[in-house]
């Protein structure tokens, strides 16, 4: 969004540089205060302030992050399994990943799956069922604070079925990875 503070990966400096979004262009690129026409995959949110279990501002086991997969040449969702003593991280998709190949999920206010105020359902493990909830915040870590529980991952949230059937938000979004059950195979 215009005015957001972000970090831009400068190819010349080979590091993340603080920047501010001046304009979102029709072709999807961003004009930053340090460079115009930047592709969104070269921009990330600044690291959030340290939280519980995250005293040094680094990633902690359980954090939802994105990993830059060189073979795919794109950022992919991942989960931190361990922080290693050598400064690398074990992710659910790859061990011993350098921190410069990891970022917080690249979501913005307009790119979040769920919006503040959305009426959703949350899968409660303790109750073994979906319960009604309301989104009260989208975190920089890619999780959601609900009125019934904080820091919930998106896979434990859904829109109520009746909302989807009555023209509400779609069950799936463009770009979602899904499985299809083919009855003929």
- In this structure, the number of other CB atoms found within 10 A of the CB of residue 141 comes to 21
pLDDT of residue 8: 82
Rg of the chain over all Cα atoms, to the nearest angstrom = 18
pLDDT of the residue at 82: 92
d(CA 20, CA 71): 30
List of E strands, 25-73: 30-32, 43-44, 64-69
Residue 50 is predicted with a pLDDT of 41
Beta bridge partners of 91: 80
Please report where in the chains the tokens 């917080």 appear, as a residue: 104
The CA distance from 156 to 121, in Å, is 8
For the chain, which ranges sit under pLDDT 70? 13-14, 46-57, 105-113, 140-142, 161-185
Enumerate the β-bridge partners of residue 10. 15
User: Rounded to whole angstroms, how far apart are CA atoms 143 and 137?
Assistant: 9
CA atoms of 104 and 60, how far apart (whole Å): 12
- Contact of 77 with 105, CB cutoff 8 Å: yes
Count Cα atoms within 13 angstroms, Cβ side, for 175.
Answer: 4
Ranges of H-type helices in the chain: 161-165
3-state secondary structure of 22: strand
């Amino acid at each position: 969004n215009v005015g957001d503070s972000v970090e831009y990966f400068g190819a010349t400096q080979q590091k993340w540089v603080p920047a501010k979004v001046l304009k979102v262009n029709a072709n999807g690129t961003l004009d930053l205060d340090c460079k115009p026409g930047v592709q969104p995959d070269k921009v990330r949110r600044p690291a959030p302030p340290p939280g519980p279990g995250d005293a040094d501002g680094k990633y902690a086991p359980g954090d939802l992050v994105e990993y830059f997969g060189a073979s795919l040449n794109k950022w992919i969702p991942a989960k931190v399994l361990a922080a290693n003593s050598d400064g690398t991280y074990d992710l659910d998709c790859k061990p011993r990943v350098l921190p410069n190949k990891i970022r917080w999920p690249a979501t913005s206010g307009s790119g979040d799956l769920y919006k503040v105020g959305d009426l959703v359902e949350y899968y409660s493990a303790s109750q073994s069922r979906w319960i009604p909830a309301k989104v009260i915040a989208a975190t920089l870590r890619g999780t959601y604070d609900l009125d019934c529980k904080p820091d919930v991952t998106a896979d434990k949230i859904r829109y109520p079925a009746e909302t989807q059937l009555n023209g509400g938000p779609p069950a799936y979004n463009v770009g979602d990875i899904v499985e299809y059950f083919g009855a003929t195979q």
